Amino acid sequence: MSLSTEKNLDVILEALGHKKPTERALAVSRLNRIDLWVKSNDFDKIESALTVAYEKETNKIGKKRIKKLLNKYTVYLNSTEKQKAKIIAEFKKRIEEKKHRKEAIELRKEMEERARKEAIELRKEQAKRAEEERIFHQNRLIKERMEYENNLREDKEKNPHLALISDHLWWLALAVKVGFVLVILQFIFLLMLLG
């Protein structure tokens, strides 16, 4: 039997005397949550069923919960009409507060989910922009290299002698570097011989 949504008081009170402790615990929980404050003629019936259940209960935790619930019903039965109205108002206020807290939690979760999705979209957009920038720079470098090669080809066509010389200029630069190193070595050997 499913007591989490049960609204028939007789079924709940029957489960209160069930052999299984889990069924009894569900019945106590349902009596604690169900909006029974409206039917004042059922309170004596609930109180007597809770008293019997309290006496038969062997589990300490179950006994403690039944006692707490029994005290609620006893306080309500022993109250004046004005006090009963106040208890009902407080009960409804607690239910509304729980409802508002639940709505606030759901709203916060919804906002967090929306923020997470926006962050994912932003990351995707940033990755797309970075890829576009990389492609743009790569294309620009290719374009510059092509322009350089075109200019070099045009220069070679205009001045074929200069093109031949420029191809062999690196040998000249190498010869100058080697000559400079040899001069320094000669100077060092000369100082060693004289010194």
**pLDDT tens track for 28-67:** 777 776 555 446 667 777 777 777 777 777 777 877 887 8
User: 63 in a domain, yes or no?
Assistant: yes
User: 73 in a domain, yes or no?
Assistant: yes
User: 114 in a domain, yes or no?
Assistant: yes
Average pLDDT in the chain: 82
Domain shared by 112 and 157, yes or no: yes
Whether the pLDDT of residue 1 is over 60: the answer is: no
User: 167 in a domain, yes or no?
Assistant: no
User: 137 in a domain, yes or no?
Assistant: yes
- Give the phi and the psi of residue 36 in degrees, each rounded to 5: -95, 0
Q: How much of the chain, in percent, has pLDDT values that exceed 70?
A: 86
Domain shared by 73 and 120, yes or no: no
User: 112 in a domain, yes or no?
Assistant: yes
Summarize the confidence of residues 88-94 as an average pLDDT: 79
Q: Residue 124 is part of which domain span?
A: 93-161
Domain shared by 102 and 58, yes or no: no
Summarize the confidence of residues 18-32 as an average pLDDT: 77
Q: State how many domains the chain has.
A: 2
Q: Kindly indicate the confidence band of residue 81, based on its pLDDT and cuts at 50, 70 and 90.
A: confident
